[in-house]
Amino acid sequence: MAVTVVNYYEALNLDRELSTVEINTELSKLETVWKRREITNPEKAAKMNALIIDARKVFKTDATRRVYDVSLNPPQSAPVPMEPRNKVEQWQIDAINKAEMERRHLEEQENQKFQTRTRRIEERKATTTALYKKAWITFAICVAIAVLAFITFGFARIPVFLLVIVVFGGMGFLNYCDMYRNGIGSGLVKMGSIFGGFVFCFMCATARYTQMGYSVASASATWKTMGILLVIMMAIIVITRKVGKSRADSAYRQNLF
């Protein structure tokens, strides 16, 4: 028996008239859609992601696509005359049995691959979810430390630069975990970090102004401090989110191959 060839055109709703480049573009769009559904529908997402990865191998180049198209519609060979049942030889029976065993072996391999991919996705989901929760706890602790420090020491005695390291560290860790979780991230985390970071930078700059004394020179230094803190904050947010996305994409592809 022949091994069934998966029809990726039908399974992924791809138009046969599209060029190989256009098909790969469609696969990228599908990949983004099903990555987003890993949390809400992990089993279906794992199956579709596996199909997309396999389809990418088939549609990698025009040459591989031509080979695949031929395998979907193999040329029909001339029918072999059937011998009477009483004349079937042992070698024919052995050939049929061997083909059947090969078919079952291939099916088992595909099932094992699918189960392995599903298990890896589930394991990564559990790991990244736990890490994401820890990031929120860490960030909440950093914010609590900042608030407590301002209440305890006041603007005149608060250790501004030490506090900046603590809060920016927690913010960077949260943004990294936000992107590492699924490669897409949350707009709420990003915008919240920017808004909250701006408020924190303003408070730190005000504290420095208080510590340096109320003067024109102090005011000028305060604005410079504010600008530097804002630049550092935005750099931390952008870099940590990019690193998180890069690692998420890498882990995603490793889990599916």
User: pLDDT confidence of 3, banded at 50, 70, 90?
Assistant: low
State pLDDT tens for residues 123-165. Answer: 888 888 899 999 999 999 999 999 999 999 888 888 999 999 9
**DSSP per residue, 90-106:** HHHHHHHHHHHHHHHHH
18-41 tens-digit pLDDT: 999 999 999 999 988 888 888 788
CA 174 to chain CA mean position, Å: 16
Give 24's contacts (C-beta < 8 A, 6+ positions apart).
56, 59
Distance between CA atoms of residues 70 and 178, nearest Å: 44
Tokens at residue 29, please? 């769009």
Q: Is the pLDDT of residue 1 over 70?
A: no
* Residue given tokens 């924190």 in the structure block: 200
Let me know if 212 is exposed, middle or buried by CB neighbors in 10 A (0-12, 13-18, 19+): middle
Per DSSP, 210 falls in state H
**Residue 47 confidence (pLDDT):** 87
- Measured distance CA(98)–CA(64) in Å, rounded: 28
pTM: 0.58
